[in-house]
A and B are shown apart, each in its own frame.
Chain A
Amino acid sequence: MPLDTSAYNLALLRVDGRRWNELRRVHAQIRTQAAADGSSYLEMGHTKVMCVVTGPSEPGPRRGGAGAGGGGGSGGKDAEVAVSIVIAGFSSVDRKRHGKGDKRTLELQSTVSNALSASLHTHLFPHSQINISLHVLSQDGSLLAALINAATLACVDAGIPMTDYVAACTAGSTSTYAANDEAADPLLDLNHQEEQELPGLTVATLGNSDRVAVLVCESRVQVGRLEGMLAVGVDGCKQMREILDRVVREKGQRMIQEGTVERGVGLNDMDVD
């Protein structure tokens, strides 16, 4: 059941057979829903997330207090990024009902919203709203990372101008929280089992830079472990950006080949063969 750390020390292989710096298989698609302005489907290992973006559009009737109040609304100068996350009851092993007012879900929503609105050029769309709805179909660790990646892809599909990809992944450490063992290895992309047993964090960076948009750590860990975990996480985000970029480019190529879109001026640098 627990991650057998002794086995890890012998073979340097994790429970699912990965090495410390390996991502799980990432499968992503964009433009999965024809009706939506932008949509995506993303799998990181067994974590499966679907995302639909509508907008930028005129804001609908004001939803109850979520954006208003103490936090300070944008006052209509920038587009508001409204995120709603639905976690399916069948997504995890123990069937759980996730109510609408679940604080953890609300926190995830506000994190995804804040992370993306810093990268999206919201100032181009005053008095409007970008709706991102995320559906969690299956959970196996790195949920926040998957949500951010899926939302980024869907925003790209929706054609909303943005600075760069916001790519996210998780990193962990093989040390337990109390032990300050220097020998502890950092781990990349934690699955559910590792997330339960080991300290870990979620990092999201902007494009290829070292600039961190989201950093969430929810477990106890020695301060000395942070640097290693963060370095591995940032590196993983760069890998993730490449994967996301490839998905977008492949879809673009296919669409040109199929004749769905005209080959534009800006696409000249893409080799479409």
Chain B
Amino acid sequence: MPREAEPSLSERQFVLQALQENLRLDGRELDQYRPLELSFGDQYGVADVTFGRTRVLAKASAEVTVPYADRPLDGIFNIATELSPMASPAFEVNRPTETEILLSRLLEKTVRRSGALDTESLCLVAGQKCWSVRVDVHVLSHDGNLIDAACLAVVAALRHFRKPDTSIEGGVLTVYTAAEREAVPLSWLHSPFCVTWSFFGDEGETAVLDATRLEEQVRVASCTVSLNKHGEICQIAKLGGVPVDAVALLQCTAVALTKVKEFSELVDKKLAEDVKKRDKGGFMAELSAENER
């Protein structure tokens, strides 16, 4: 497929010079995010995140399967990030680019390896039956900062998701359909979010948050920090690029923590709004009362 068009020399100069004077093309502050929107779908587990012109959709799903032989007490949790030509014609189906591999590794480290989802709670019958939870990340529009948007979408989708209720009686596992019993949320331990800094200048002295695609194309280095609101780092990735002063990186982490707290509040607020919206009919209220045991 065609390569992504590179910014022209004058375009590059313009962006870089503006950044040197602490100006951005869209008039934002250096540490300001684009207008951030989060919405949930009609179904459980669908989250749609928009950062300016970047748009990512995440969908969580679950099914019952057999656990891995070496981990009989754990459920299965996967995050699938396949970039389609929808995001950019440069992405090809079934041929992962570097962007895609790094994105999937980062999400994996941030959400999966940090233990955000309690995989032990997904186990139904040890060694025989467990839930396999899967999140599919669909990038609908790529205008920079895919990582932060995708991470927010994944976390929001998983927190919004409900898996079918189950019961075990006499060794017989019953999975109830949505019509029989209301679905139950996942056992969620903490919500990590990614904050990506982009660095500009010969020594990476200008640090910028939420870079657009054009800015990403001309940056000299980037650093993604994943944190949760309790101030735990889940992952840091500055994978090469121009060396940046260590003290500056520490400052970036501190600022990232404040941003993560904002993300955390946003997701909490939107989830609460969504619950209220769903509860309106009274039908749900009736169902949940029925299910109380």
Where the two chains meet, the residues of A that have a C-beta atom closer than 8 Å to any C-beta of B are 64-73, 75, 103-104, 106-107, 110-119, 177-178, 201, 205-206, 209-218, 220-224, 226-227, 230-231, 234
Contact = CB atoms under 8 A, between A and B. Distances in A.
Given A70-B91, A230-B249, A115 B240 contact: yes
Contacts of B168: none
Contact of A223 (B104, B232, B244): B232
A103 B97 contact: no
Interface stretch (B52-60, B108-116, B284-292): B108-116
B115 A213 contact: no
Contacts of B203: 211
A112 B237 CA distance: 13
A216 B254 CA distance: 17
Contacts of B97: 65-66, 68-71
Given A66-B98, A70-B4, A107-B101, A222 B240 contact: no
Contact of A212 (B83, B115, B244, B254): B244
Given A69-B90, A177-B232, A230-B249, A218 B241 contact: no
B238 A75 contact: no
B232 A220 contact: yes
Chain B, interface size category, equals 35 or more
Which 7 residue pairs across A and B have the least CB separation, nearest first?
A114-B240, A211-B243, A69-B97, A70-B99, A115-B240, A217-B236, A215-B238
A220 to B, nearest CB: 5
B95 interface: yes
A70 B88 contact: yes
Interface in B204-255: 204, 217, 220-221, 223, 227, 231-247, 249-250, 253-254
Classify the interface of chain B: helix, strand, loop or mixed: mixed
A221 B226 CA distance: 11
Interface of B: 1, 3-4, 6, 83, 87-88, 90-92, 95-102, 104-105, 108-109, 113-115, 142, 203-204, 217, 220-221, 223, 227, 231-247, 249-250, 253-254, 257
A108 to B, nearest CB: 9
Contact of A221 (B98, B104, B233): B233
A268 B138 CA distance: 60
B233 A69 contact: no
A110 B96 CA distance: 14
A220 B233 contact: yes
A244 B87 CA distance: 44
9 contacts: A110-B101, A115-B241, A118-B220, A210-B246, A212-B246, A213-B240, A215-B238, A222-B233, A226-B250
Nearest to A148: B240
B249 A212 contact: yes
A69 B243 contact: no
Q: Which of B88, B102, B245 has the most A CB atoms < 10 Å from its CB?
A: B102
B249 A224 contact: no
Nearest to B97: A69
Contacts of A220: 114-115, 232-234
A69 B99 CA distance: 8
